[in-house]
Amino acid sequence: MAIWGLDAEPRGHSEFIEPAPVTRPPERWWDLVVVLAVALALSFLAGAVAFAVEAVMADEDLLTGRFPSGGAAQSPYFLFGAMGALYLATLGAVALLLFFRGHRLGTVFFARGARLAAWGAVPTGILLAIAVMALLSFLPPAMQEELIEQSAALDPSTLGEALAVFVIAVLLAPVAEELYFRGIMLRVFARRIPFAAAAIVTAALFSLVHGHLFLSPGLGGWLLTGIIFLLGFLLALFARAGGSLRAPFLLHAAYNATLVVPTVAGLLAGAQT
């Protein structure tokens, strides 16, 4: 019996209601490999297309890699585009797998769940982000500078870049990451080990994938990794409580939006002056 989803045990229903028949779950353990492989392959393909377009527009030999503009990889939009391609490819891979198995993405992962979990998701995400920003403000100045330099590549400098960051951070990233970590990984693990252990394992992998520990191996990296681990664990709890990915998506989006909005607001204020 699944922890949540169409094949999960009904919650909050009368014992006289006949439970839905148990069917084979729509996700498989090998989806963890297939989805990741497809997403990475499509992302590399998108990057190759970007380099080819840059070469044609610059009228340069593609094999030399020498572009007058510095190359597509030097543009922040290349990084944003690569991230967007990765998330869109993840979403597409999951949707295709479900389609070939006779399921729909929205029905399996984004069906209506417990309303209380969805209502509590947004304020929880906002409060967690505010707490994180407050915690980081108490770090030593040298450590704060290190963390700022680590994320400098993703800091928007124009309104167009800010819009791209907002779309990626608040829409694409929450959808794709929730589908992979809480939609597939958590459900696969929770059928084999206790839910608490599955939530811990998926939260640990979720935090490591963000790479803060590798980019900043000191205390700052450990702190950011721990924060994302806590976020991942909360997302798993909301997935189970809500019986759907709606609640964790809202929490994830609210958390990211709270972190991004100050930067976007600063750019808007600068543009008006």
Domain membership of residue 19 (yes or no) is no
Domain membership of residue 4 (yes or no) is no
The runs of H, that is alpha helices, within the chain are 31-58, 76-100, 105-109, 115-137, 141-150, 159-167, 173-177, 186-190, 195-209, 212-215, 219-242, 246-272
Domain membership of residue 17 (yes or no) is no
- Name the residue among 35, 150, 136 with its Cα closest to residue 95: 35
Amino acid 74: pLDDT: 57
Domains contained in the chain, number = 1
Domain membership of residue 149 (yes or no) is yes
Res. 23 pLDDT band, cuts 50 70 90: low
What 8-state DSSP symbol labels residue 70?
Answer: -
Per-residue tokens: 84: 């967007």
Domain membership of residue 13 (yes or no) is no
- Name the residue among 232, 222, 85 with its Cα closest to residue 164: 85
Domain membership of residue 25 (yes or no) is no
**Backbone CA torsion sign across 113, 119, 122, 124:** negative
What is the pLDDT averaged over residues 7-11? 52
3-class SS of residue 171? helix
What's the predicted TM-score (pTM) here? 0.82
Per the structure, the complete domain to which residue 134 belongs is given by: 31-272
Amino acid 252: pLDDT: 97
Domain membership of residue 131 (yes or no) is yes
Amino acid 196: pLDDT: 95
Q: What does the pLDDT look like over 110-144, one tens digit per residue?
A: 888 788 888 999 999 999 999 998 988 888 888 77
Res. 200 pLDDT band, cuts 50 70 90: very high
Q: Is 17 exposed, middle or buried (0-12, 13-18, 19+ CB in 10 A)?
A: exposed
Domain membership of residue 26 (yes or no) is no
